[in-house]
Structure 1
Amino acid sequence: MKEADQTLIRLLSDGKSHSGSELGDRLGISRAAVWKRIQRLEQFGLALESIKGKGYRLRQPLQLLDVDRMAENVAERARLHYSWVTDSTNADALALPGPVSIPHLFISECQLSGRGRRGRQWQSPFAANIYLSLRYSAAGGFSTLGGLSLVVGAVVADALVALDPCLPVTIKWPNDLVINGSKVGGILIELAGEMDGQVDVVIGIGMNGAMTSSQAADIDQRWTGLAGEMQGNYDRTAIAAAILDALLDALPLFSEKGFAGFSALYARFDGVLGRKVRVISGDNELIGMACGVTDEGALKVDDGTQVRELFGGEVSLRLQ
């Protein structure tokens, strides 16, 4: 994104109306050039309005990330990479040559090709949500990483509740963060390396923040955002910093004890425990009662004849 576009976004970020002549004077360009730049900003998912006689405004104010504040928070524990626009923070993390000696954190205001699980697109409008990825190197091979997505979900949920103790966030196995039945966030783990040796781990986290209905038009499931759920306590930078801080604190314990070191924390936020679930994996479908998870993070489902352990699949709590 060009520097002039960044300046234009900062000018509009207050959500108030700004005339084309005012914006042109601030940017040193003509009103016609302002209009062209406004049109270009729409490709980043910004919800803009043109009001006759008043000029241009965003449908809601933006909270741009305070990068200095986040960098100070992670201090010497990790290296922070910030961008205004990127294709995907997970892709950026995977592209980093490895192994890495310390964790690298990638965070962006906007993703043009945000990715969810199973190749799904993750809606990533500019400064509306939180898009971040953490890259670190782990020894011991893929088998040591069982339950990682559950650990990340529990750690993120715990960080959110620390910011707002009344937030009723739960985890829908294996990697959805949910509030009152509506998805508020997701986790995407990607691995590269040797089956039994060094592994490069990328933890991708997307949290819905303050999307408008038009920005979320392509989402095909119930969703909610932290801006509405936190009732006035929504601070995008504080949330991102808390998540990063909690993840960096959790990694050493996970390396030492695996999922077992977080099983009690996960149980606090387990949103499927004791509920009837449908689990779809490929062409297979299993319906039964969810009865917790194993120390490797597998979902235990009692189908009425036996308790099965599932390491993957899509869980649905709606059985009609």
Structure 2
Amino acid sequence: MSLTSLNQLLHLLADGQFHSGTALGQHLSMTRAAVWKQLKGVEALGVNLHRVRGRGYRISGGLDLLDVEAIQRQLPILDPSFNVQLYMSLPSTNQTLMQHQQQRSIHGDVVLAEVQTSGRGRLGRQWQSPFGQNVALSLGWHFYGGAVALEGLSLVVGLALTHALADMGVKQVQLKWPNDVLVDGKKLAGILLEMRGDATGPCHVVIGIGLNVHLMHDDAIDQPWVSLAQLGYQLSRNDVVAQILLRLNEYLHEFVQHGFGAMRDEWQQYHYYQDQKVQLLLPTKCIEGICRGVNQVGALIIEHSGMIEAYSGGEISLRPIEERQ
């Protein structure tokens, strides 16, 4: 579903005020029947539409809608220049960008969705993104040097997110290896990287980010989570997206030039489990020890049984000892 008259209708209703069917029809140059059909489309997106006879329709509380022009106005001339594409609804922003890569270069392409119906996190987890509540963003980037050159990339993206949030006044953000952004141990944002191309040469990476912005309730999420609104921050999603893109541009260029090793110490300053007792859940065993941060390529360092060992990504989960059952 792309930007259509449905988008125009949503912008009219975004103020949270009542609008009669007649007034909506005049604004949209539509018949009442056509307006009614579009209103059904609004509800199909998961938006709660309030109807009152004699007054019309409204979205209680209004909506903070994404706007490509409002985002682009905040971006200076960048290399590459970001090509921002906005959709009303997508199964997955990552999946959409991966499909685009089959036809052309996606370096600098940004895909946003107001609602993401089948978003994925690490280890196959679902990432909930109801309409107009969060940021579901994917950015395409071209790298050289294959998989080895990408070591530590998810950690760098986490750093970029941390600084973007700090730029907007969000404090006490911490990072969990390899791809979570936390506040007080609760998940605020997640990162999912997907690669396509030569394992030893040029490749495209899709950097997927899900950030909880306005979300207040969601019983379907099966882990501790928090949103910017719950933390007391009332931020425009357009401002949030623009700041994320600015920081991603900065950190990705630094990563290409210097690698993760140049940012390792900075990452560890935000590490939630630094020098804490943890469980490392591997496919065939569970290791308990002290988390000593990460090495120069972003592998997790665990001290246990008198040894210090490094563990890379894959089917690995990290937990505090206190969560043991």
Structure 1 and Structure 2 fold alike (TM over 0.5):
yes
Shift of 1:30: 5.2
Q: Which amino acid aligns with 1:95?
A: Q
Deviation string for 1:206-256 (max 9, x for gaps)?
11111242xx23211121111332534x12111111110111111221112
**Counterpart of 2:94?**
90
**Counterpart of 1:14?**
15
Q: Which amino acid aligns with 1:14?
A: D
Q: Which amino acid aligns with 2:196?
A: A
Task: Work out whether residues 216 and 230 of structure 2, in 8 Å CA contact, stay in contact via their aligned partners in 1.
Answer: no
Stretch of structure 1 that moved more, 185-194 or 280-289: 280-289
Partners of 2:153 and 2:78 lie apart in 1 by 24
**Counterpart of 2:228?**
226
Matching of residues 1-320 of structure 1 within 5 Å:
1=1, 3-29=4-30, 31=32, 33-51=34-52, 54-72=55-73, 73=75, 75-77=77-79, 78-85=81-88, 86-97=90-101, 100=105, 102-164=107-169, 167-213=171-217, 216-232=218-234, 234-312=235-313, 313-317=316-320, 318-320=323-325
Task: Work out whether residues 68 and 84 of structure 2, in 8 Å CA contact, stay in contact via their aligned partners in 1.
Answer: no
Shift of 1:145: 0.8
Partners of 2:24 and 2:272 lie apart in 1 by 48
User: Normalized against structure 1, the TM-score is what?
Assistant: 0.89
Task: Note closer, same or farther for the CA distance 1:181–1:101 as it changes in structure 2 (3 Å cut).
Answer: closer
Task: Note closer, same or farther for the CA distance 1:283–1:50 as it changes in structure 2 (3 Å cut).
Answer: farther
Partners of 1:51 and 1:290 lie apart in 2 by 57
Partners of 1:217 and 1:36 lie apart in 2 by 30
Task: Work out whether residues 134 and 204 of structure 1, in 8 Å CA contact, stay in contact via their aligned partners in 2.
Answer: yes
Task: Note closer, same or farther for the CA distance 1:314–1:50 as it changes in structure 2 (3 Å cut).
Answer: farther
Partners of 2:284 and 2:48 lie apart in 1 by 40
Partners of 2:278 and 2:40 lie apart in 1 by 45
Secondary structure (helix, strand or coil) at the match of 1:115 reads: coil
Secondary structure (helix, strand or coil) at the match of 2:61 reads: coil
Q: Give the percent of matched residue pairs that are identical in Structure 1 and Structure 2.
A: 35
Secondary structure (helix, strand or coil) at the match of 1:68 reads: helix
Secondary structure (helix, strand or coil) at the match of 1:308 reads: strand
Partners of 1:49 and 1:212 lie apart in 2 by 19
Secondary structure (helix, strand or coil) at the match of 1:131 reads: strand
Shift of 1:48: 3.0
Q: Which amino acid aligns with 2:174?
A: T
Task: Work out whether residues 167 and 229 of structure 1, in 8 Å CA contact, stay in contact via their aligned partners in 2.
Answer: no
Task: Note closer, same or farther for the CA distance 1:298–1:76 as it changes in structure 2 (3 Å cut).
Answer: closer
Stretch of structure 1 that moved more, 257-266 or 32-41: 32-41
Q: Which amino acid aligns with 1:316?
A: R
Partners of 2:177 and 2:54 lie apart in 1 by 51
Query: What's the C-alpha RMSD, in Å, of the aligned pairs?
Result: 2.3
Partners of 1:239 and 1:154 lie apart in 2 by 15
Shift of 1:52: 5.5
Secondary structure (helix, strand or coil) at the match of 1:204 reads: strand
**5+ long unaligned stretches in structure 2:** none
Matched residues, number: 316
Secondary structure (helix, strand or coil) at the match of 1:228 reads: coil
Q: Which amino acid aligns with 1:155?
A: A
Deviation string for 1:62-85 (max 9, x for gaps)?
112232232240534223132232
Stretch of structure 1 that moved more, 119-128 or 24-33: 24-33
Q: Which amino acid aligns with 2:64?
A: Q
**5+ long unaligned stretches in structure 1:** none
Stretch of structure 1 that moved more, 271-280 or 96-105: 96-105
Secondary structure (helix, strand or coil) at the match of 1:10 reads: helix
Shift of 1:295: 0.8
